Amino acid sequence: MRMIFIGPPGAGKGTQAARLVERYNIPHISTGDMFRAAVKAGTALGKKAQEYMSAGQLVPDEVTIGLVRERLTQSDCSDGFMLDGFPRTRPQAEALEIALEASHIQLDAVLVLEVADELIVSRIVGRRSDPETGEIYHLQFQPPPADIVSRLVHRKDDTEEACRSRLAAYHAQTAPIIPFYDDRNLVRRVDGVGELDNITDRITSALS
């Protein structure tokens, strides 16, 4: 299974990604992990990426595409892979397509996990974390024990303003790549609302 996994922030993509890479026995490739691995290995592209990151700059698309192509030709990707967090924009999707064709790699699916913005906001804004145990609670969906409420922390990036900002960026930058892959008959849309096992079943059914 050679796939790209797309979904808005807060849709539960991380949980499902962990399940899918185990089910299909494929590597989970995120740009962050890929950058760190290339820098650690000291590859030419890794060194180039390090220069930009050390200067506090975004790594240019051409370097990122080169790193993705380099990563996908490694032996653990021979039976498939999951790209998560890339491509993020239409130009990246177009450049990735060229790179994959050059490497004779064909995508099987672009999985899109769909959750309405307002539900995502309610999920995120209601989250609280316990600094002593690391446990995550939700004021509505998974209420904490009454005796620990006073010590729970509401993270700065879990505010409504921060959440809506991330969603706006997703809709402006990443969502436009979906029609690009729709034109190639690769998109598999899955409802991301419900019990975790049910969502996983929907995904595997969509990918089969």
Residues labelled catalytic: 13, 88, 127, 155, 166
Phi, psi of 80 (to 5 degrees): 135, 175
Three-state SS string across the chain, please? CEEEEECCCCCCHHHHHHHHHHHHCCCEEEHHHHHHHHHHHCCHHHHHHHHHHHCCCCCCHHHHHHHHHHHHCCHHHCCCEEEECCCCCHHHHHHHHHHHHHCCCCCCEEEEEECCHHHHHHHHHCEEECCCCCCEEECCCECCCHHHHHHCECCHHHCHHHHHHHHHHHHHHHCCHHHHHHCCCCEEEEECCCCHHHHHHHHHHHHC
**What crossing angle do the helices spanning 31-41 and 44-54 adopt, rounded to 10°?**
110
